[in-house]
Amino acid sequence: MKNFRHAIGYAVIMIMVGMCPIILSVLLTALTGNKSLEIIAMPICYMIGAVLCCLAAKLLHVETERHIARTQTVTLMLAIAAGAAWALGDLYIVNRAALISSTEETLAASDYIAALITATVSPAAEELIFRFGVLTLLMIGARGNKVKTALAMAVSILPWMMLHFPKNAPRAIDIILTGIILCMIYILSKNVFYSIAFHTAANAVTMFAAVNAGVFVSNQWLLYPAVVIFAVSVIPMFIMLYKAGKEQAFQPMDTIKKI
């Protein structure tokens, strides 16, 4: 248990390192009320947080090459398909009201830029911070213990959920379930590119729907193929992720630099 407590301490430091630039950009935008500044500052701060987490991992002697590696094309495509289908189903099941209200909004050019950033920069940065940075350290401390692995997932998901400011219980549950899937993808594969692929595909569908809400509201039958695609792709995805990652293992805790 001592190793896991140390891992939690390192993970908390990693969370602070990754989230501080993001929180700073949120506070800066709130104080100035300048939405244009938010569009510029947010992706920069996201990437600063991700880079700082990668540097912190190196300083702690985390064997980063284990977790940033080449991917298998078929497995990557399954992750993309599952992520897109998950987000599409989510739109109609959890976020239907928000989707309908979006049809009444007039979008400015800045909204399209923000959507593009959310679909690309944000998921990559979040995965580098919360899965590659935080979850890796926690899994090193867990040493394969199932209870500790569940706790590791919870510690990784909670700050990530808070970053998304869920406005109601269904949205909070939705974010937690998405976080569980992302954690499972990373734990099985031990390769952050697969969780980035799932997350990016999900965000891309969500943002595309946000700027084309009328199309999605008038074609709600899309929920049914989304459910089918997710059901067909998710099990093979997890099986192939397991096969891809089974030869790898999270490094021993005693290889992590003590601070």
Place of tokens 């891309």: 204
- 96-144 pLDDT, tens per residue? 877 777 666 666 666 777 788 878 899 999 999 999 999 999 999 998 8
Q: Where are the alpha helices (DSSP H) in the chain?
A: 2-32, 35-59, 73-93, 96-102, 109-126, 136-142, 146-163, 169-189, 192-211, 213-217, 223-245
- Average pLDDT over the chain reads 89
The two tokens of residue 25 are: 């950009």
- When divided into structural domains, the chain yields a total of 1
Asked if 156 contacts 19 with a C-beta cutoff of 8 angstroms, the reply is no
Range of the domain at 159: 2-255
Confidence of residue 210 (pLDDT cuts 50, 70, 90): confident
